[in-house]
């Protein structure tokens, strides 16, 4: 049995995107703001290698960051680890926080 590599762009669930810290827009090249390069590492992105980080608007400017899986995984891990310190639900019971659970599941998915 042969394995078929998916060529579909991986997308981050919209509810989780605001929890993932992106670099400041003014520090990024045009290629990084339009998704041609990884927003963090600068690697060239294709439909097969990119993770779509959604449409963002800063100061009236729309931008469309994408990232490689390695950098996305690191950013999602940081968001997952930071989240409990800023979440009332996590302070009460982190096991039932949908955001933390979603970030953890995304982190695991990016590890595959």
Query: Does the pLDDT at position 105 exceed 80?
Result: yes
The pTM (predicted TM-score) of the whole model is 0.86
- Token reading at 50: 């990119």
- Token reading at 53: 């980080």
Interval 10-60: pLDDT, tens: 889 999 999 999 999 999 999 999 999 999 999 999 988 899 999 899 989
Tokens 């997952």 belong to 80
Q: What is the pLDDT of residue 37?
A: 97
Q: What is the dihedral of CA 3, 40, 111, 98, to 10 degrees?
A: -120
What average pLDDT does the chain have?
A: 89
Helices and strands in the chain: count of H runs, count of E runs: 4, 5
Residue 8 — pLDDT band, cuts 50, 70, 90?
low
Query: Does the pLDDT at position 2 exceed 60?
Result: no
Q: What is the pLDDT of residue 59?
A: 87
Share above pLDDT 70 across residues of the chain, in percent, rounded to a whole number: 92
């Amino acid at each position: 049995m042969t394995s078929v590599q998916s060529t579909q762009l991986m997308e981050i669930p919209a509810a989780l995107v605001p929890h993932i810290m992106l670099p400041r827009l003014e520090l990024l090249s045009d290629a990084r703001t339009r998704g041609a390069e990884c927003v963090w590492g600068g690697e060239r992105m294709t439909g097969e290698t990119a993770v779509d980080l959604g449409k963002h608007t800063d100061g009236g400017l729309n931008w469309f960051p994408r990232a490689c899986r390695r950098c996305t995984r690191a950013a999602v891990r940081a968001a997952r680890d930071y989240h409990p310190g800023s979440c009332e639900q996590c302070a009460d019971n982190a096991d039932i926080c949908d955001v933390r659970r979603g970030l953890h599941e995304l982190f695991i998915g990016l590890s595959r």
